[in-house]
């Protein structure tokens, strides 16, 4: 036997519950016959709109509404909703113990609570949590997934559909901000707490896996996480600064490659205000800044650039290198001071060793270039440099030829 009620039910936590008019009770299938100290809710035939006295699905008590026992389906006939091609998740209707389908395209189920109502029942607001809608799951079968809350979203038109919205409002008059080492109360949009309630099942024996996991289920997301330009305090996306993500010392942003290969990470070990360092992406440059935004180093980008600087480490026995690389065959590496300032080297200058025959063609572009020549013939100062000898001298390009120095 299958009966479908025709009115959607709104569940409110009321204490004491507001008396319901007799005609509304009759319409919903509520009678006055006792069932464990409450007024029963009966299954009703959607055609005749008459209740079935022998099929109670729950009751209304002084402190709320309770569904119990057998399967309850309330609202618009479920079969018509599950059969429509637009509804792919018909297993929700098949497997649901209590199914509420809105007949008017609005809210099918609403949960509301007010903490101050607990005081009227002698329940101190500080001793029990006020929860509008709650779900609990015990996953005690191996390899069988379970969900505490689930939302199946299907967009059929050019509109906006939200799998979950948390609309938070702070009217307390108090503005608080949490930090990794100082979590505060206030309005928290989503709180992901590992551990759960130890009052049933005991305390956790292992850490939980991940707090947020974004994956593919027959399709992909165009973006993972997006912050609206004016969604954070402190910045409107044009002016100011706002903290989008905040972490504690030693917490990493980690990348991985196929095979679970470590693909790199960004992290911080700063533990004092004087040690603060920041990376700033600015127009045409990347700036490394210290405490107070003071610049440490700036890497500039030239429009249509083809040459750049390579900084490389080295194994034992060789020195680290800073050199010019790029598309040009010959590219200078320029080191210069500001104004009258020069380039101060902390150690000796070591020129690259060359033979006369391997020297580049001396030209106006190379004027001032020095090399350590290892096969020079004996010659006076500033004389033309000739190879085929055994003298070690400095070769200098004067813009037209190599000379001995």
Please indicate, yes or no, if residue 268 is contained in any of the structural domains. Answer: no
**pLDDT at residue 19, rounded to an integer:** 37
Please indicate, yes or no, if residue 173 is contained in any of the structural domains. Answer: yes
342-386 residue pLDDT tens: 989 888 888 999 999 999 999 998 999 999 999 999 999 999 999
Residue 374 domain boundaries: 353-404
Least confident of 87-96, 231-240, 277-286: 87-96
pLDDT for 18 beyond 80? no
- Average pLDDT for the chain: 80
Question: What are the residue ranges of helices labelled H in 171-239?
Answer: none
Please indicate, yes or no, if residue 203 is contained in any of the structural domains. Answer: no
Strands (E), 86-161: 98-101, 111-112
**pLDDT at residue 118, rounded to an integer:** 74
Percent of the chain with pLDDT over 90: 54
Q: Is the separation of the CB atoms in 71 and 45 below 8 Å?
A: no
Least confident of 76-85, 115-124, 263-272: 76-85
Please indicate, yes or no, if residue 206 is contained in any of the structural domains. Answer: no
Please indicate, yes or no, if residue 61 is contained in any of the structural domains. Answer: yes
Please indicate, yes or no, if residue 377 is contained in any of the structural domains. Answer: yes
pLDDT for 224 beyond 50? yes
253-264 residue pLDDT tens: 999 999 999 999
Cα–Cα nearest to 250, from 233, 261, 266: 266
Please indicate, yes or no, if residue 338 is contained in any of the structural domains. Answer: no
pLDDT band at 20, cuts 50/70/90? very low
pLDDT band at 117, cuts 50/70/90? confident
Most confident of the ranges 6-10, 112-116, 150-154, 239-243: 239-243
pLDDT for 3 beyond 50? no
DSSP string over 4-71: ---S---EE--SSPPPPPHHHHHHHTEEEEESSSSEEEEEE-TTT--EEEEEEEEEEETTEEEE-SS-
**pLDDT at residue 109, rounded to an integer:** 82
**pLDDT at residue 129, rounded to an integer:** 81
Say which residue, 125 or 274, is predicted with more confidence.
Answer: 274
Q: What pTM was computed for the model?
A: 0.72
pLDDT band at 15, cuts 50/70/90? very low
Q: Is the separation of the CB atoms in 204 and 196 below 8 Å?
A: yes
pLDDT band at 105, cuts 50/70/90? confident
Boundary of a domain, candidates 195, 220, 254: 195
Specify the 3-state DSSP secondary structure of 83: helix
40-96 residue pLDDT tens: 555 544 444 444 454 555 555 555 555 444 344 444 444 445 445 444 456 776 677
Least confident of 95-99, 213-217, 241-245: 95-99
What is the mean predicted confidence (pLDDT) over 288-311? Answer: 92
**pLDDT at residue 122, rounded to an integer:** 64
Boundary of a domain, candidates 165, 195, 225: 195
Boundary of a domain, candidates 195, 221, 253: 195
What is the mean predicted confidence (pLDDT) over 276-302? Answer: 92
**pLDDT at residue 39, rounded to an integer:** 54
Q: Is the separation of the CB atoms in 249 and 268 below 8 Å?
A: yes
168-198 residue pLDDT tens: 999 999 999 999 999 999 999 999 999 988 8
What is the mean predicted confidence (pLDDT) over 204-227? Answer: 95
**Domain total of the chain:** 2
CA distance 88 to 155: 12
Paired strand residues for 257: 261
Please indicate, yes or no, if residue 290 is contained in any of the structural domains. Answer: no
């Amino acid at each position: 036997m299958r009966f479908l009620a025709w009115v959607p039910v709104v569940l409110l936590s009321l204490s004491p519950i507001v008396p319901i008019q007799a005609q509304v009770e009759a319409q919903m299938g509520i009678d006055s016959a006792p069932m464990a100290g409450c007024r029963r809710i009966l299954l009703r035939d959607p055609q005749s709109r008459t209740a079935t006295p022998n099929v109670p699905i729950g009751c209304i008590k002084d402190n709320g509404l309770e569904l119990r026992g057998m399967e309850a389906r309330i609202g618009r006939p479920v079969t018509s909703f599950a059969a429509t091609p637009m509804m792919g998740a018909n297993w929700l209707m098949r497997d649901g113990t209590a199914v509420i389908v809105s007949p008017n395209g609005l809210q099918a189920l609403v949960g509301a609570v007010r903490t101050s109502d607990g005081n009227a029942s002698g329940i101190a607001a500080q001793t029990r949590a006020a929860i509008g809608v709650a779900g609990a799951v015990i996953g005690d079968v191996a390899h069988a997934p379970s969900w505490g809350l689930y939302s199946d979203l299907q967009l059929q038109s050019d509109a906006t559909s939200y799998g979950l919205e948390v609309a938070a409002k702070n009217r307390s008059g108090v503005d608080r901000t949490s930090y990794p080492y100082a979590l505060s109360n206030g309005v928290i949009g989503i709180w992901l707490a590992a551990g759960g309630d130890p009052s049933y099942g005991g305390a956790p024996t292992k850490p939980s896996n991940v707090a947020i996991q974004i994956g593919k289920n027959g399709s992909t997301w165009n973006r993972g996480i997006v912050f609206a330009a004016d969604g954070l305090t402190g910045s409107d996306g044009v002016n100011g600064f706002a903290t989008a993500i905040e972490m504690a010392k030693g917490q990493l942003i980690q990348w991985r490659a196929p095979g679970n290969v470590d693909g790199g990470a960004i992290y911080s070990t700063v533990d004092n205000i004087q040690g603060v360092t920041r990376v700033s992406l600015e127009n045409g440059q990347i700036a490394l800044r210290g405490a107070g935004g003071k610049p440490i180093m700036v890497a500039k980008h030239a429009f249509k650039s083809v040459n750049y600087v390579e900084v490389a480490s080295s194994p034992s026995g060789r020195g680290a290198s800073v050199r010019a690389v790029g598309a040009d065959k010959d590219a200078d590496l320029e080191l210069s001071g500001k104004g009258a300032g020069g380039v101060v080297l902390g150690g000796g200058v070591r020129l690259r060793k060359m033979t006369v025959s391997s020297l580049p063609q001396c030209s106006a572009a190379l004027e001032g270039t020095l090399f350590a020549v290892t096969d020079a013939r004996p010659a006076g100062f500033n004389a033309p440099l000739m190879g085929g000898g055994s003298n070690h001298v400095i070769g200098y390009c004067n813009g037209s030829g190599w000379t001995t120095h």
